[in-house]
């Protein structure tokens, strides 16, 4: 009796362990690059968002060692052309850049999901209007749109986020639109209709939850694009204005010193590249891991 319960317990554990194997994280683990990217990004965000509380140097304050100082214990990455601590600027700049990326992504997911889901679900006039607007927006060269909008609307951080979001929701809208068209034909959606559920309930409780995997994938890829766009406009001087550091405007500052102090350019440049790459790899990995046809190799 005792022994049989024992085996029952162990087999129960075995079943649990087996179940755990099919979680998203475990499926993602099979893509080594994506899995590594995930952890890298977690570390990067922790460092950038928590780091400034530990490394308390003010990124906008001139240091005693003077301009373009080499690395030292007080200033691990040295100082920049005005004598500000580069390490502190990297942390604070990363904060701004990643925050802009995240906020722009969330905002563009919101617009894209709303437009795509409504167009797909309600059809008819709503579909025509929303999808034609989406296509019209796609026809405008993205970067050109951002430059013009920022020149007109000003360059406050909020404005930068809004403009980047407004320039990047179309892909998401189309993905969500396609998925909505697919899911709304399922019988469980018709069953909800037969139960007397209102349209909004069907859309938010029955259809959008099915699309969330696709939205997550689009989201990660959108962050990467948003970081790149923010860096590019900051580099052109249209983004977040100095003295607030971002990786993009640090890059712009450093170009005059590319021969005398190459670290000033290499650091933010590498940070942008690696963060964007990591987000792209993660997005690719998630796309595979979230695919229901995913087979374990």
206 binds other proteins (CB under 8 A): yes
**Segment contacting other proteins (CB under 8 A): 6-14, 23-31, 46-54, 193-201?**
193-201
Residue identified by tokens 């899911």 is 183
Nearer to other proteins (CB atom), residue 151 or residue 204:
204
How far does CA 81 lie from the centroid of its chain? 31
Beta bridge partners of 262: none
291 binds other proteins (CB under 8 A): no
209 binds other proteins (CB under 8 A): yes
Shortest distance, position 205 Cβ to other proteins, whole Å: 8
With vertex at residue 34, the alpha carbon angle to CA 31 and CA 36, rounded to the nearest 5 degrees, is 105
* Helix (H/G/I), strand (E/B), else coil: 229: helix
Query: Could you say which of 109, 115, 175, 192 contacts other proteins (CB under 8 A)?
Result: 192
CA distance 117 to 82: 50
**Segment contacting other proteins (CB under 8 A): 82-90, 171-179, 182-190, 217-225?**
182-190
H helix count then E strand count, the chain: 13, 0
Report DSSP state, residue 256.
G
187 binds other proteins (CB under 8 A): yes
Query: Could you say which of 42, 154, 188, 270 contacts other proteins (CB under 8 A)?
Result: 188
Using the CB atoms, write b or e for 234-272: b if 16+ within 10 Å. Answer: bbeebbbeeeebbbbbbbbbbeebeeebebbbebbbebb
Query: Could you say which of 110, 153, 191, 266 contacts other proteins (CB under 8 A)?
Result: 191
Nearer to other proteins (CB atom), residue 16 or residue 54:
16
Nearer to other proteins (CB atom), residue 172 or residue 189:
189
CA distance 297 to 294: 9
**What count of other Cβ atoms lies within 10 Å of the Cβ of residue 19?**
9
Shortest distance, position 127 Cβ to other proteins, whole Å: 15
Query: Could you say which of 74, 155, 210, 244 contacts other proteins (CB under 8 A)?
Result: 210
Q: How many CA atoms lie within 13 A of 165 on its CB side?
A: 21
Query: Could you say which of 54, 125, 139, 194 contacts other proteins (CB under 8 A)?
Result: 194
Nearer to other proteins (CB atom), residue 135 or residue 190:
190
Query: Could you say which of 3, 18, 139, 196 contacts other proteins (CB under 8 A)?
Result: 196
CA distance 198 to 191: 12
- Rg over CA atoms, the chain: 24
Positions in the binding site for other proteins (CB under 8 A): 186-188, 190-198, 201, 206, 209-210
């Amino acid at each position: 009796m005792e022994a049989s319960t024992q085996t029952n317990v162990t087999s129960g554990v075995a079943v649990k362990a087996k179940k755990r194997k099919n979680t998203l994280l475990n499926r993602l683990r099979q893509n080594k690059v994506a899995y590594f990217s995930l952890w890298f990004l977690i570390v990067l965000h922790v460092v950038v968002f928590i780091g400034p509380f530990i490394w308390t140097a003010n990124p906008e304050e001139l240091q005693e060692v003077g301009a373009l100082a080499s690395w030292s214990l007080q200033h691990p990455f040295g100082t920049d052309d005005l004598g500000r601590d580069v390490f502190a600027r990297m942390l604070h700049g990363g904060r701004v850049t990643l925050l802009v990326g995240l906020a722009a992504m969330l905002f563009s997911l919101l617009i894209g999901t709303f437009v795509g889901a409504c167009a797909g679900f309600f059809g008819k006039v709503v579909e025509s209007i929303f999808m034609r607007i989406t296509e019209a927006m796609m026809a405008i060269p993205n970067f050109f749109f951002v430059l013009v909008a920022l020149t007109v609307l000003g360059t406050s951080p909020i404005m930068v986020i809004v403009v980047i979001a407004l320039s990047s929701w179309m892909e998401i809208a189309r993905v969500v639109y396609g998925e909505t068209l697919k899911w709304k034909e399922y019988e469980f959606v018709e069953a909800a209709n037969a139960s007397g559920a209102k349209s909004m309930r069907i859309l938010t409780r029955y259809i959008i939850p099915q699309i969330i995997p696709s939205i997550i994938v689009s989201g990660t890829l959108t962050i990467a694009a948003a970081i790149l766009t923010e860096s590019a406009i900051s580099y052109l001087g249209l983004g977040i204005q100095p003295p607030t550091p971002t990786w993009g405007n640090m890059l712009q500052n450093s170009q005059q010193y590319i021969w005398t102090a190459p670290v000033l350019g290499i650091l933010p440049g590498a940070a942008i590249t690696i963060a964007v790459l990591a987000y792209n790899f993660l997005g690719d990995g998630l796309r595979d891991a979230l695919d229901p046809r995913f087979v374990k190799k």
